[in-house]
Structure 1
Amino acid sequence: MSAHPQDKKFSPERQSAFAARYEAQKIAFAPVVFQCVRYAWKRGVLQALAEAGEQGRSVEELAAAGRWSAYALKVVLETCLSAGVVTLKAGRYQLDKAGYCVLSDEMTQVNFNFINDVCYLGLFELERSLDEQTPHGLKALGDWPTLYQGLAELTEPARTSWFAFDHLYSDTSFPTILPDVFATQPRRLLDIGANTGKFSLAALGYDAQVELHLIDLPQQLAVADANLTEAGVRGRAQLHPFDMLALKEPFPGQMDLIWMSQFLSCFSESVIFNILNHAAQALAPSGQILIMDTFWDRQRYDIAAYCLINTSPYFTAMASGNSKVYESGDYIRLAEAAGLKLVTVRDGIGYCHSLLRFARA
């Protein structure tokens, strides 16, 4: 296991009071910086500077194109300057390294779109959501008790941005973990939290003999059903609608392997325990459970831990009101309480995933 999260420190070991105060002001004005940088990216200002290269462009030259007023350019570019997105030399703006990341890095763009299109308005309700453990910010997107009931009904651009965020991290992991999934040669495989069926499709394509069972909300299973049908593998899959917040009936039993990916983080600890308890009861005698998720305490780089930690408020304000990006030890503790034991841990999958393998204790 990695060092205990309490030992983690993101700021420099030695930081002056002046430097700390500067960092505090960055936090205070972060929403302003976010919107100005986003404007510069989405409206083509950063692209214009990229095309100008080392020569850069003055505000007057940029305004002459007729796409932006001089006023808008001054407001936005000065904020971009303060954030290290652009530089200013002899009255001419040039794109800096952070600006190139915004303009060309897929992860940065997916995160920008997710925060703006899915989270930004709803995060105003974070305080009340934290106090009441209810996703009050969700009303900015629709009228559902949790986001998961409304995923199939999300309007644009929130829909595209949500799925791009979800799939960016999972899609980079699926190709590398299929050998882990089939290491024990499972014949009956249960995908809990199947979502759109992307993992199930990958598993069915990897092993022609495996029988897939998918569990999710009816709305999500309808999407998975369509995707499996289009791929011509619907006959090898069985769909089981379950609401994890009202879990009473047992899961389909005698499973050789149960798979959960980026799923348990959608729920509170009490619900996670209930899911794991049901999963343990659904295992065949030698069956195992594989849980792939993004644990912030198991990241090699601070940038990954930073992004994951700051995804938790989305779960609070927008998704469920009482879930988060967990530490790996939380899952292990809850799994042990459900009668399971940790067999192996594999880190460094895709961008930021770890794979926990459990068996009956």
Structure 2
Amino acid sequence: MPFYQSPQDISAFDAKFEAQKIAFAPISFQVARCLLKFGILEQIDAAGKSGCLLEEIQLSTQLSEYAVSVLLDMGLSMRLIWNKDEYYHIDKIGNFLLNDDMAKVNLNFVHDVCYQGLFELEASLVEGKPKGLSVFGDWDTIYPTLSELPEKVKQSWFEFDHYYSDHAFGQLLPLIFKSDPKHIIDVGGNTGKWALACTGYNSDVNVTIMDLPGQLNVALKNAADKGVASRVNGFECNLLDQSQAFCPEGDLYWMSQFLDCFSKAQILSILQRTAQSMTTQSELCILETYWDRQPFEAGAYCVNATSIYFTAMANGDSRMYHSKDMLKLISQAGLYVDEDIDDIGLGHTLLRCKLKP
């Protein structure tokens, strides 16, 4: 990743401006969200080349002249919009903020899930606990309580999670089924989207989802609704309980955007117990977004930012990893990487692992 290997070529003047953007970043974020929430960017975009007057925006939003003007002024400074002869026009950044699905998903996730809790990032770093999670409840980690989160928070969480995984499904299914697995163990299967994708792709495969009771209930209901309840089973398991063995007799063990939810020590335990459940014919497929494997700087930025969600909101000690860290843990667990494929979906990497001889 060349953009991390040398100092950025930027003037001192521009660097100082970037520092001010960081200082005011929470304000910029909320202004951008309000410009979207009140339909202001959408109205300006729809006006096309003719643009919009402040009075027109005020009339459509029912906000005061003051409220509209402070949002528009900051929008100008953020390069979301531009103004000529008192008419407002959308700029390229504003266009992407309005129309890019990734920007929408990321913004909603940060606002609904992370924003309030990030005030406790400092305490989370010091204590190694997700202190920001207290804005939603008195919980140790976010995972057992996903189904209990406020509806809008839960919606944004799952939209964020599924957005990145779903983009990879089309490429992944042929790769996964090239070994013709008959029984897939979906470790941390969440709502069952992968299990349903597998049963839809292959009419013979059976999938066992390993997860906590709350997630399993949702996943099995989704399987029943899709008419594949006979091929999707649940294996209730607290994956952090080192005394709990994993589901045996799997041809393929599947972990998608899963191991980033745990600390290195926890990952090692999970991988070791997976290896103990595998045979010489089994394989383990790990799908993750490693920050060092991203093809573009924007991808690495999003991945590293997501690590801070884990710190303050999820569990306090997990993150989006460097691929070398994961490869080392895989080896320590008695496994080796038989196949390593980058650039799947939105910057995902697939590691196909087998037991060491």
* TM > 0.5 fold call: yes
After superposition, residues 93-242 of structure 1 pair within 5 angstroms as 93-242=88-237
Match of 2:270 in 1: 275
Does 2:297 align with 1:302? yes
Deviation of the 1:12 alpha carbon: 7.0
Q: Distance in 2 between matches of 1:120 and 1:296?
A: 22
Q: Distance in 2 between matches of 1:107 and 1:207?
A: 30
Match of 1:27 in 2: 22
- Larger mean CA deviation between 216-225 and 92-101 belongs to 92-101
Q: Distance in 1 between matches of 2:61 and 2:323?
A: 52
- Larger mean CA deviation between 285-294 and 66-75 belongs to 66-75
Match of 1:261 in 2: 256
Q: Distance in 1 between matches of 2:242 and 2:146?
A: 20
Name structure 1 gaps, 5 residues minimum: none
Deviation of the 1:139 alpha carbon: 1.1
Deviation of the 1:19 alpha carbon: 1.2
AA of the residue aligned to 2:193? K
Does 2:273 align with 1:311? no
The 1:222–1:330 alpha-carbon spacing in structure 2 relative to 1, beyond 3 Å, is same
Q: Distance in 1 between matches of 2:197 and 2:245?
A: 26
3-state SS of paired residue (1:134) = coil
3-state SS of paired residue (2:151) = coil
Name structure 2 gaps, 5 residues minimum: none
Task: Provide the TM-score with structure 1 as the length reference.
Answer: 0.95
Does 2:344 align with 1:359? no
Deviation of the 1:45 alpha carbon: 0.9
Q: Distance in 1 between matches of 2:258 and 2:14?
A: 39
Q: Distance in 2 between matches of 1:237 and 1:57?
A: 54
Match of 1:287 in 2: 282
Q: Distance in 2 between matches of 1:113 and 1:316?
A: 18
AA of the residue aligned to 2:244? E
AA of the residue aligned to 2:65? A
Does 2:47 align with 1:52? yes
Q: Is the Cα–Cα contact under 8 Å of residues 211 and 237 in structure 1 kept in the other structure?
A: yes
- Larger mean CA deviation between 60-69 and 263-272 belongs to 60-69
3-state SS of paired residue (1:284) = coil
AA of the residue aligned to 1:188? H
Q: Distance in 2 between matches of 1:344 and 1:243?
A: 29
The 1:10–1:101 alpha-carbon spacing in structure 2 relative to 1, beyond 3 Å, is farther
Out of 69, 77, 93, the residue aligned to residue 72 of structure 2 is 77
Deviation of the 1:185 alpha carbon: 1.4
Match of 1:251 in 2: 246
Match of 1:39 in 2: 34
Deviation of the 1:66 alpha carbon: 5.8
Identical amino acids, percent of aligned pairs:
44
**Could you report, residue by residue, the CA deviation over 1:262-283 in whole angstroms, capped at 9, with x for unpaired residues?**
0000110000000000111111
Deviation of the 1:142 alpha carbon: 2.2
3-state SS of paired residue (1:310) = helix
Instruction: Count matched residues.
Output: 356
AA of the residue aligned to 1:36? V
Root-mean-square deviation over aligned CA pairs: 1.5
Match of 1:322 in 2: 317
Q: Is the Cα–Cα contact under 8 Å of residues 129 and 316 in structure 2 kept in the other structure?
A: yes
AA of the residue aligned to 1:75? V
Q: Is the Cα–Cα contact under 8 Å of residues 102 and 108 in structure 1 kept in the other structure?
A: yes
The 1:39–1:11 alpha-carbon spacing in structure 2 relative to 1, beyond 3 Å, is farther
Task: Provide the TM-score with structure 2 as the length reference.
Answer: 0.96
Q: Is the Cα–Cα contact under 8 Å of residues 178 and 203 in structure 1 kept in the other structure?
A: yes
Deviation of the 1:55 alpha carbon: 2.0
**Could you report, residue by residue, the CA deviation over 1:138-193 in whole angstroms, capped at 9, with x for unpaired residues?**
01122221111111111121011111101111111112211111111112211101
3-state SS of paired residue (2:281) = strand
Match of 1:87 in 2: 82
Deviation of the 1:70 alpha carbon: 1.1
Q: Distance in 1 between matches of 2:5 and 2:41?
A: 29
AA of the residue aligned to 2:275? A
Q: Is the Cα–Cα contact under 8 Å of residues 291 and 304 in structure 2 kept in the other structure?
A: yes
Match of 1:341 in 2: 336
Q: Distance in 2 between matches of 1:225 and 1:92?
A: 54
3-state SS of paired residue (2:280) = strand
Q: Is the Cα–Cα contact under 8 Å of residues 118 and 141 in structure 1 kept in the other structure?
A: no
Deviation of the 1:203 alpha carbon: 1.0
3-state SS of paired residue (2:282) = strand
3-state SS of paired residue (2:251) = strand
